[in-house]
Amino acid sequence: MKLVTLENDPDNSWSLNNTLRQGGYHCRGYQSIDVLIESPWVEEADLAIIDGDGMKLDKRLIERLGQTFWPERPMLFVGNDERQLSRLAREADVTLLKPVSARGLIASVKSTLSKTWDQYATSDATQFGRYQFEPRGHAVLVDGTRVTLTQKEFQLALLLFRNLARPVSRVYIAGAVWRHDERINARTMTAHVSTIRSKLQLRADADYDLTPIYNYGYRLDPVRRQRALNAVQQPSPHLPAAVPG
C-alpha cells in the first residue's frame, strides 16, 4: 500500500508524511506538484493526501493529478479553509478540516481506503495470469480449477494481488479485511496468510511468491522464471549416419 503526501515540509516531525508512516503506512512526501508528477510513485499511489495550507495549489494542476493518475480513486485534502478545500476537491474526494490529531488523520485515511477496497471487492472477475478472481463467488479459478476460499481468505488474497509487487502493511490489511476489528491479532493474520499461500500455491517455485516483511507486513511478487527454457527437451544424442547399402 503506497501513499503520497503533498505539503510544505514532509520532513517536519508532525507532517502528514511522518504521521502516516508512524501509523504503519508506506508513504512518501513531496513539496511541489511538479516533483510529484515526475515521480514513479504518482501512478502507483493508492491515495494522495494534500495539505491545502501554505501552498499555492493550482486548481488546474490538482485536476490534472486527479484526471491523469487517480480518475477512479479519491484524494484526501487537509486544511483550515473549508472553501478552498471544497474548491479543490472533486465530488468523490474527502476533505478534513484542521486542527486534526494524528488519530483523526489515520482514521480518515483508513475510512477512505476502505471505501476504495469496497469498490475492488464488488468489481467483476479479475484476472492475474493463471488466477481469476470471482468476487461474488468467493472463489479463485487457477487454470480453470476452482479453489474455494472463505470470505476473509478471498479478500486477503485479492488485496495482495491488487497490490502486486508492493509492500502491504499489517495495518492496512487489518483495516481492509478485518475492518479494524480490535480482536484481530498477528497470529490470526499469519494463519490466514499461510492458508492462502498453501491453497493458491504462492511460493518461490510457482508463478507468485508471497513473503513476509519483518515488522511490517507482506509482499506478493511475480516469480521471474523462464518456463520456456525448462520445457525445452534436451537434444537427443546424434546417431551414427546410416551406411549406404
pLDDT bracket for residue 122 (50, 70, 90): low
Total count of residues recorded for the chain? 245
Nearby residues of 15 by Cβ (< 8 Å), 6 or more positions away:
5, 7, 9, 29
Q: Is the pLDDT of residue 180 over 90?
A: no
Report pTM.
0.60
Residue 241: C-alpha distances to residues 6, 138, 143, 234 (Å): 74, 61, 44, 20
Domain limits of the chain? 2-119, 123-224
154 DSSP 8-state letter: H
CATH number for the region 123-224 comes to 1.10.10.10
Mean pLDDT of 207-224: 91
What is the rounded average pLDDT of the residues 107-130?
75
Considering the chain, what is the average pLDDT of its residues? 81
pLDDT digits (tens, 9 = 90+) for 92-107: 889 999 999 999 999 8
CATH numeric code, 2-119: 3.40.50.2300
CA dist 68 to 1, 91, 141, 177, 194, Å? 20, 16, 33, 29, 37
Compute CA distances 8 → 31, 32, 50, 166, 243, whole Å: 5, 8, 10, 27, 86
DSSP notation for 104-130: HHHHHHHHHHHHHHHHHHTSS-EEETT
% pLDDT > 70, the chain:
84
Query: Which residue would you say has higher pLDDT here, 14 or 72?
Result: 14
Report residue 78's pLDDT band, with 50, 70 and 90 as the boundaries: very high
